[in-house]
Amino acid sequence: NAKEAYQCWLQYKKIEDGRQYDEYASICLNLAVVGDSVILNSALQELIQAVTSMFDKEPLITNYADPDSSIILGTYQDINLTDYGVDASIMDRLNEEGYLLQTVNNGKRDCLLLVGKSDKGTLYATHHLLRLIQTGEAINDLTIVESPRNQIRMLNQWDNMDGSVERGYSGNSIFFDNNQITTDLERIKDYARLLSSVGINAISINNVNVWQVETNLITSKLLPEVANIADTFRRYGIKTFLSINFASPIELGDLTTADPLDQDVKKWWKDKVKEIYAHIPDFGGFVVKADSEHRPGPFSYDRDHADGSNMLAEALQPFDGIVVWRCFVYNCMQDWRDRSTDRARAAYDHFKPLDGKFHDNVILQVKNGPMDFQVREPISPMIGAMENTNQILEFQIAQEYLGQQKDLAFLIPMWKEVLDFDTYAKGEGSTVTAIVDGSLYDYKFSGIAAVSNIGNDINWTGNTLAQANLYGYGRLIWNPNLTAEEIAGEWVLATFGSDSTVLENITSMLLDSREIYENYTTPLGIGWMVNPNHHYGPNVDGYEYSRWGTYHFADRNGIGVDRTIETGTGYAGQYFSPNKKVYNSLEECPDELLLFFHHVPYTHKLKSGETVIQHYYNTHFKGVEQVENLIVKWTMLEDKIDEFRFNNVLDRLKMQLANAKEWRDQVNTYFYRKSGIADEKNRTIY
Ligand code: GCU
């Protein structure tokens, strides 16, 4: 029975009879919903489902507030706050998606108001209440006022129409199968429920690499079915986007060029966009990967990325649509002899000179690091570099380079490091959070997007513990002030219940996991060393001698990439001061990023006093021990967790242990043989 696995954090487990049951039940069983909209109805349905399941009783429902109502939900336009003695100006503090949870007395009894600034706000308020109950918090005297910090809170599916998912580790697509769009809208609805419960409000449903079949998603043949998916998401406050092929006018057989400055091409896209909006009136817009890894783009016509994105933006503008234009543009056919070409520099070099040239409904989407979602990278210098161009940050929830949802890697601490990073773009305090929430430069559009980690596996994410990354992503981008500990704790309670050993063990497993993964793979910021193409497991030279341009430059004397201004690729110079100076300096550069910025001898001493080579040996041995310890912690939970989820995670932890040992042995052996320097502790190195 995999019911719990499927339900993720929306378990709504029956609450045991007793004091807590009575307290919660006295508030939850008499619901009034005022107003009417599809989103409000989703809120009500969620509440009914949750209440029925948690109290084993169906709630009473009215469509007006009466003296017996114990919860009233609606928008502030429909609920007159002053009637309840609440100062209505409280709503002025909220943005469109914000809400208020307020306990009031209606003369006869205490009653909880769930009031949204819009119906979306009411849906989010409902989930806030359900989260409080699932995490065992009191709900009898609430005043909670919340708004999301980020405007666009997006997911990117990398789903292909043949049903495969690029970098998908959880089965096949829930959107497509056999080159058709799914008719299983129930599963889409359940996905929408999960996403809205953590505040996601936008989704692109197909892979950024738009192949032949997917190019047809914007044709009248497939748009009605895309519209069905969009309808389902709309009920949960989520806007649908499509990834498009820049060469569509050619690929769909209408024109011989896709030149963005060609009048026929412009008209083609304008007509196309009109057609899309006839099917999906609130369509979000396009996600575009152009001139990247062999995908078509404006470069073919000697145009730049502003020309390309503006052309699409003009077509979308009358409908309030936006263009999410990806900055993952680099030369993937690098010659190793050319030491000035540096993939890390590429996005900045391409886009920075174009600042100010983009229309205001274009948003540039930037990966959090300059390379490609490695276990540790510096923050992309693009973030904050473009004062006059909307930006959205891109994370990857799918663990492409972090163990592919076999190995445990809780990503929230890593994302928090990104968000907390001070870019100094406008002096001290110019954090990534302040850039992507739009406040630092007053962007019209901004936010955060992430590559999803779900598929049609019964538990959505392959490894059940990887559900925490989807949950945590939504929670963190709603409120970047939440700590990783808080998010982990919430997730465990809602997902597995309140047993204290369960809570303690899983929380600590999650919080330690990224560092553990880093220990047995590629510490000190170098990254890669993975098997080419699929990217799982060690292969120290896997990419080193290929043309994809990702190198560690290890030789018999040393390792690391010289990205300094004086002798290296100059990448460090793309940062604002003082970051520029810190990264550029061998003395000041933080150890965890040392090899990203500097090429050093194996005997170079780290701040810890260890040499680089000894640090590599130590972390690799330690990483394996830490995975063994994860297994011990999980095994302790055997009789506290349902069998399906217990075995699912245990199986994956065993795969992780095998993987960790392989990493340890290959990496240690490689560097021992390259350097000829023995392990000080004389452990087994092959
Ligand atoms: C990575 C990933 C690709 C993906 C690309 C992108 O390189 O391996 O599968 O297409 O990123 O973000 O566009």
Number of the ligand 1 atom closest to the C-alpha atom of 451: 12
User: What CA–CA distance (Å, rounded) separates 233 from 240?
Assistant: 7
CA of 166 relative to ligand 1 center, distance in Å:
8
- The predicted pLDDT at position 201 comes to 98
CB 305 within 8 A of CB 353: no
Ligand 1 atom showing the smallest separation from residue 535 Cα = 8
Side-chain-side CA neighbours of residue 425 (13 Å): 22
Kindly state the tokens that stand for 205: 């449903």
For 616-655, what is each residue's pLDDT tens digit? 999 999 999 999 999 999 999 999 999 999 999 999 999 9
How many other C-beta atoms are found inside a 10 Å radius of the C-beta of residue 319? Answer: 17
pLDDT at 339 (0 to 100): 78
Q: Which of 184, 293, 588, 625 is catalytic?
A: 293
Ligand 1: centre distance to CA 146 (Å): 35
8 A C-beta contact, residue 547 and residue 333: yes
Ligand 1: which of 159, 293, 393, 399 to mutate, judged by most atoms within 8 Å of the beta carbon?
Answer: 293
Closest C-alpha to 156, from 461, 402, 395: 395
Terminus-to-terminus CA distance in the chain, angstroms? Answer: 44
pLDDT digits (tens, 9 = 90+) for 394-433: 999 999 999 999 999 999 999 999 999 999 999 999 999 9
Q: Is the alpha carbon torsion for 234, 435, 381, 466 positive or negative? A: negative
- Centre of ligand 1 to C-alpha 548, Å, is 12
Active-site residue among 146, 159, 214, 372?
Answer: 372
Atom nearest to 207 CA in ligand 1:
10
The residues, any chain, with a CB within 8 Å of residue 71's CB and separated by 6 or more, are: 27, 28, 30, 31, 32, 47, 111, 112, 113, 114, 129
Ligand 1 atom nearest to CA at 394:
12
Residue 103 burial by Cβ neighbours in a 10 Å radius (0-12, 13-18, 19+) = middle
Pocket of ligand 1 (CB under 6 A): 166-167, 208-209, 289, 328, 372, 400
> With 0-12 CB in 10 A as exposed, 13-18 as middle and 19+ as buried, what is 66?
exposed
Q: Which of 165, 372, 533, 535 to mutate to test the pocket of ligand 1 (most atoms within 8 A of CB)?
A: 372
C-alpha 559 to ligand 1 mean position (Å): 26
Q: Secondary structure of the chain: what % helix, strand, coil (to 5)? A: 40, 15, 45
Q: Please report which helix (H) or strand (E) contains residue 634, including its range.
A: helix 612-635
Amino acid of residue 109: R
Dist. CA 408 → ligand 1 center (Å): 21
Confidence (pTM): 0.98
Phi, psi (5° rounding) for residue 294?
A: 70, 10
Instruction: Clarify whether 225 is annotated catalytic.
Output: no
Query: What pLDDT is recorded for position 215?
Result: 98
Check the CA dihedral 574-576-577-578 and report its sign: negative
Atom 1 (ligand 1): residue with closest C-alpha?
372
Say what the pLDDT of residue 340 is.
Answer: 80
* Predicted pLDDT at 549: 66
CA dihedral for 469, 472, 478, 481, sign (positive or negative)? negative
Q: Is 372 a catalytic residue?
A: yes
638 is known as an active-site residue: no
| 166 CA closest ligand 1 atom index | 9
State the distance from the centre of ligand 1 to the C-alpha of 373, rounded, in angstroms: 9
Question: In 3-state terms, what secondary structure has residue 254?
Answer: coil
Among candidate residues 42, 1, 2, the one with its CA nearest the CA of residue 461: 2
Ligand 1 nearest atom to the CA of residue 158, by list position: 10
Q: What atom in ligand 1 is closest to the CA of residue 367? A: 12
Instruction: Report the 10 Å Cβ neighbour count for 545.
Output: 8
Q: State the closest ligand 1 atom to the C-alpha of 289, by its place in the atom list counted from 1.
A: 13
Nearest CA to ligand 1 atom 12: 328
Which residues share a beta bridge with 323?
A: 286, 362
Instruction: Name the residue at shortest CA distance from atom 6 of ligand 1.
Output: 328
What's the complex ipTM?
0.98
- Closest Cα to atom 11, ligand 1: which residue? 372
So what's the pLDDT on residue 430?
98
Nearest CA to ligand 1 atom 10: 209
> Residue 28 half-sphere exposure, CB side, CA atoms within 13 Å?
29
Spacing, Cα 376 to ligand 1 middle (Å): 17
Residue in 400, 422, 457, 512 annotated catalytic:
400
Distance 329 CA to ligand 1 centre (A): 11
Distance 107 CA to ligand 1 centre (A): 59
Q: Which residues pair with 66 in a beta bridge?
A: none
CA distance 249 to 256: 8
Under-70 pLDDT residues of the chain: 549
The Å distance, Cα 446 to ligand 1 centre, comes to: 22
Q: 253: which residues sit within 8 A by CB, 6+ positions away?
A: none
Q: What is the DSSP string of 557-575?
A: SEE-----TTTS-SGGGGS
Site to substitute for ligand 1 among 167, 210, 451, most atoms within 8 A of C-beta: 167
Q: Give the atom of ligand 1 at the shortest distance from the alpha carbon of 208.
A: 13
Tell me, in angstroms, the distance from the centre of ligand 1 to residue 596's CA.
20
| Residue to mutate (ligand 1; options 211, 325, 328, 371; most atoms within 8 A of CB) | 328
